[in-house]
């Protein structure tokens, strides 16, 4: 099981697109930084739907998106550390 960490918006970088080509069913995604905006775009929301997705709560709040991303699990920095220990490997794209 791998925790895939994406930091940049798909409109700025191809990391999310590339990650979704290689992600396994048991893996999870952690979106932080500008990547938390990805689920706001229908294309990315649909692409992310089969996977367990976590959003870094502070980045969601900083972008004023708290009211729009309620269906996604938002995590604190402390929970992020716990997730990194829970998964066998962490890959930052």
Structure tokens at 49: 């739907």
- Rounded CA-CA distance 27/61 in Å is 25
Q: List the domain boundaries for the chain.
A: 2-92
Model confidence at 21: pLDDT above 90? yes
Q: Strands 89-92 and 2-6: what pairing?
A: parallel
pTM equals 0.93
25-57: pLDDT as tens digits: 999 999 999 999 999 999 999 999 999 999 999
Domain 2-92, architecture per CATH: 3-Layer(aba) Sandwich (3.40)
Handedness of CA 93, 55, 11, 64 (dihedral sign): negative
Task: Note the pLDDT of residue 7.
Answer: 97
């Amino acid at each position: 099981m791998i925790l895939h960490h994406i930091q940049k918006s798909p409109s700025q970088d191809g990391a999310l697109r590339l990650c979704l080509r290689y992600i396994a069913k048991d893996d999870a995604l952690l979106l932080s930084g500008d990547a938390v905006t990805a689920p706001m775009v229908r294309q990315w929301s649909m692409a992310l739907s089969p996977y367990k997705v976590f959003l870094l709560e502070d980045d969601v709040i900083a972008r004023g998106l708290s009211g729009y991303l309620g269906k996604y699990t938002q995590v604190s920095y402390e929970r992020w550390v716990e997730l990194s220990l829970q998964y066998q490997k962490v890959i930052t794209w």
